[in-house]
Amino acid sequence: GIADDASVSQSEVDGWCIFSDGKDELRVGYIAVVDPASSVFVTPSGRNQLTVRNLGPSLGWAEGFTLAKLGGEVLSGTSNSIAAVGFRRGDATLYGAEVLEFGVATEKPFTHISNLIFDFVIDIDADGVGDVEMLAIDLSSLNPNVDPGTYVTAQVDATGALLIDWEVRSWDFNDRTAILPFTLVSAGGFLPEKFDYTLYAISGDESEDIQHGSVDLAREIVPDLNSFGVAPRDKIDVTTSGGTGVSLWLFQNNSLPAQIGVGFTR
């Protein structure tokens, strides 16, 4: 059936209607966006066990993270108000490097992610002072010679040196979730495996939401599957290892109110 890959994709249908009274005709063109919806959710099913189900008619993607924090501290009900932030170690075979991925969700959808900036100020030594900066931003904001529309991550060290990191592909039009990859120190980046952060979610009108949180990959909840599709009317059982607590799940093919969920492991 029709499915959405949740990666900068959009299906459209267009045509026209003819209205006639037998004498005069009015031809009206239309265009519609088709966004197939899954209905994926997660429930605990035993010790270190979660079940991810899809009750919808379309394939649904599930992306699992360790929950860092829910909610922002300033805004509510906007495309840059923070709903949730999670983290996980990226797949080294996919990236060819050691990477940390942030899973982020906003309270309302963005039309295009380039309308937002996610600015993580990283405190490495827990002294309350930012040491390095992780940005998710449209590349044209960093290089005016580039056309807008390419969304990237970038790192800024304590001297102000800028490293363009990865192109962000795990987002979709008119959605409210994204996966932001950043290279770890072990692979030449500036991001350690344990840190505190202050996240600024900034929109084009310069309003910003703020979230303070912490990340420690040593305490990561690690599902044996953390990025997978669930067929319509199917379920997948997931076993977790590592830390215990609350996991954040992004369901990027769900309808907007249901694009995030949480799982509890013990």
In a domain, 6, yes or no: no
The rounded distance, in Å, linking the Cα atoms of 245 and 266 is 6
What is the pLDDT at residue 16?
86
Rg (CA), the chain: 20
* Residue 24 located in a structural domain: no
Interior/surface letters 215-249, b for 16+ CB within 10 angstroms, e for the rest: bebeebbbbeebbebbebeeebebebeebeeebbb
Q: Percentages helix, strand, coil for the chain, rounded to the nearest 5?
A: 10, 60, 35
The total number of residues written for the chain in this structure? 266
Mean pLDDT (whole number) for 97-112: 98
In a domain, 168, yes or no: yes
The DSSP H or E segment spanning 237 is strand 234-242
The domain of 155 spans 37-265
In a domain, 25, yes or no: no
Number of compact structural domains in the chain: 1
Residue 19 lies in a domain: no
Q: What is the mean pLDDT of residues 194-210?
A: 98
Question: Is residue 190 in a domain?
Answer: yes
Domain-located, residue 10: no
- Inform me whether the pLDDT recorded for 2 exceeds 60: no
**Which of residues 40 and 18 earns the better pLDDT score?**
40
For residues 201-221, average pLDDT = 98
Q: What is d(CA 209, CA 225) in angstroms, rounded to the nearest whole number?
A: 31
The CB density around residue 199, as the number of other CB atoms within 10 Å, is 24
Tokens of 79: 């495309």
pLDDT > 90? residue 186: yes
- Per residue in 151-169, pLDDT (tens digit) is 999 999 999 999 999 999 9
| pLDDT over 90 percentage in the chain | 86
Please, which pLDDT band fits residue 5 given cuts at 50, 70 and 90? low
> What sign does the CA torsion over 114, 6, 96, 89 have?
positive
Considering the chain, what is the average pLDDT of its residues? Answer: 94
Q: Residue 20 falls within a domain, yes or no?
A: no
- pLDDT over 80 at 12, yes or no: no
End-to-end C-alpha distance for the chain, whole angstroms = 37
Query: Alpha helix locations (H) across the chain?
Result: 92-95, 139-142
Instruction: Provide the pLDDT for residue 4.
Output: 59
pTM of the model as a whole? 0.91
The per-residue pLDDT for 36 is: 62
Share of the chain above pLDDT 70, in %: 95
Buried b (16+ CB within 10 A) or exposed e, 145-155: eeeeeebbbbb
pLDDT at residue 35 above 90? no
Lowest mean per-residue pLDDT among 15-29, 55-69, 245-259 = 15-29
Q: Which residue has the tokens 């009900």?
A: 77
Non-local CB neighbours of 251 within 8 Å, separated by 6+ positions:
38, 40, 41, 60, 61, 62, 63, 258, 259, 260, 261
pLDDT recorded at residue 13 = 72
Q: Are 68 and 220 in contact (CB under 8 A)?
A: no
223 vs 101, 103, 184, 237, CA distance in Å? 15, 15, 21, 10
Q: What is the mean pLDDT of residues 250-266?
A: 94
